[in-house]
Chain A
Amino acid sequence: MNGFLSAISGLGRKVISSIERMGRGQIFLFHTIMSTGVIFKEFSLLVKQMHSVGVLSIQIIAVSGLTVGMVLSLQGYNTLVDFGAEQSLGQMVALSLVREMGPVLTALLFAGRAGSALTAEIGLMKVTEQLPAMEIMAVDPYRKIIAPRFYAGLISMPLLAAIFSAIGVLGGYLVGVELLGVDSGAFWSQMQSKVGFYEDIVNGVIKSIVFGLVVTWIAVYEGHDAAPTTEGVSRATTRTVVNSAFAVLGLDFILTALMFGGA
């Protein structure tokens, strides 16, 4: 009986603590947004973070985009050629990249490459008591540390997703046209006639902005909320990657249903 009661109260404790964490996360986001002004006043802070979050992620994004585009093209060709529809290869590659693969895979890679680094960095600042030291010196850590990182992620993510999709389309072209011999004109014209700018490209960009917001939010929050121990930082970094992946995949389903569900 006692064991049963403690199991129930253990469950309650978990629920309460996770709701508390969500609440703290929202207060955190509110504070961050209230500190937006700093990125206009001290633009160099943002530039520095854009470098570590965005520029250094280009390599993995470009390589993944290229391989994903090439694989999509190769596999799509095998299926489409059975129906004599290999002309539609360009459309298939571009639509899957722009609508789904680009934003989702970029967000997952971004969480692994940049998100985890953000969490570890801010978490270590907490362990070495840099954040309290800043507060003592009347420097607001939200303005100096959190906001520039948050906006760097928010701006970088859509750009990285666009790079991913564009390189993916080029990879698809390389395999489809140069290797498998699909007609180059048909490849581009089918793509252009079936991919709408507002329906597909803009919706893809909206998706990547939402993912960028969520992944960066989770990353900086987990760092800020980490227990100030070595173990706490490692756990926070893991949570960043896992929670970002869950959030991105869940949100992707909802956004897809809202954007493309009717068609």
Chain B
Amino acid sequence: MMSRAKLELAVGTFVAIGLIALLFLAMKVSTVSSFSGGDGYEISANFENIGGLKVRAPVMMAGVRIGEVSDISLDGDTFEARVAFVLARQYKLPIDTSAAIFTSGLLGEQYISLEAGGDDANLKSGDVIKLSQSAMVLEQVLGQFLFSKAAGDE
């Protein structure tokens, strides 16, 4: 039988290794979404069509990730998609910022791209972005292309 001190050392090491493994999973393998909770502010935008945009999709400005989509719902009055997203607190954006939905690469995930305007006033929590550009839906673009091709041949 092992001595008591050795036993305790072994168990202590085991628990420590287990906790380190958990810490490794938490820090290195995953991310706690850094934009949710207290350290961000939420604004929203209406889009005619959001394509394949999903909750937790990135919000980028000039290619820099500054927030993420927190909620997607349908506006019952205008029948447009209402997308709410949380931005990191340190970024102050002008009130006439415009939002567009782009795709990273040809088949990549969709994200919201913000384009700053020139107004002096800044967006506050709860504001709605007025200028928005819908997602490009591949089927629609193909349809328009084929239609214009057919019209051109006449």
Partners in one complex: yes
Docked pose: A204 CA to B28 CA in angstroms: 16
Given contacts A47-B7, A165-B21, A205-B22, A159 and B14 within 8 Å (CB-CB): yes
Interface positions of A from 206 to 240, Cβ below 8 Å from B: none
B7 touches A51 (CB 8 A): yes
Number of chain B residues whose Cβ lies closer than 8 Å to a Cβ of chain A: 25
Interface positions of B from 28 to 71, Cβ below 8 Å from A: 28-33, 56
B21 touches A162 (CB 8 A): yes
Docked pose: A98 CA to B32 CA in angstroms: 15
Q: Which of B10, B20, B22, B26 interacts with A55 by CB under 8 Å?
A: B10
Interface positions of A from 165 to 203, Cβ below 8 Å from B: 165-167, 169, 188, 191-193, 195-198, 200-201
B16: nearest chain-A partner, CB-CB:
A159
Please name all residues of chain B whose beta carbon is closer than 8 Å to the beta carbon of A198 when the two chains form the complex. Answer: 32-33
A188: nearest chain-B partner, CB-CB:
B28
Docked pose: A165 CA to B23 CA in angstroms: 12
A47 touches B8 (CB 8 A): yes
Number of chain A residues whose Cβ lies closer than 8 Å to a Cβ of chain B: 32
Please name all residues of chain B whose beta carbon is closer than 8 Å to the beta carbon of A201 when the two chains form the complex. Answer: 22, 25-26, 29-30
Q: Is A123 an interface residue (CB 8 A)?
A: no
Please name all residues of chain B whose beta carbon is closer than 8 Å to the beta carbon of A124 when the two chains form the complex. Answer: none
Number of A-B contacts (CB under 8 A): 89
* Distance to closest chain A CB from B57 (angstroms): 11
* Distance to closest chain A CB from B20 (angstroms): 8
B18 touches A55 (CB 8 A): no
Docked pose: A197 CA to B10 CA in angstroms: 29
Docked pose: A192 CA to B26 CA in angstroms: 9
Please name all residues of chain A whose beta carbon is closer than 8 Å to the beta carbon of B18 when the two chains form the complex. Answer: 158-160, 162-163
Q: Which of A54, A163, A195 interacts with B29 by CB under 8 Å?
A: A195
A191 touches B29 (CB 8 A): yes
| Seed contacts A98-B29, A163-B18; 9 additional CB < 8 Å A-B pairs | A47-B11, A50-B15, A58-B17, A163-B17, A165-B21, A166-B29, A196-B33, A201-B25, A201-B29
Q: Nearest 4 pairs between A and B by C-beta?
A: A159-B18, A166-B21, A195-B30, A162-B21
> Hey, which bits of chain A sit against chain B, CB under 8 A?
44, 47-48, 50-51, 54-55, 58, 94, 98, 156, 158-160, 162-163, 165-167, 169, 188, 191-193, 195-198, 200-201, 204-205
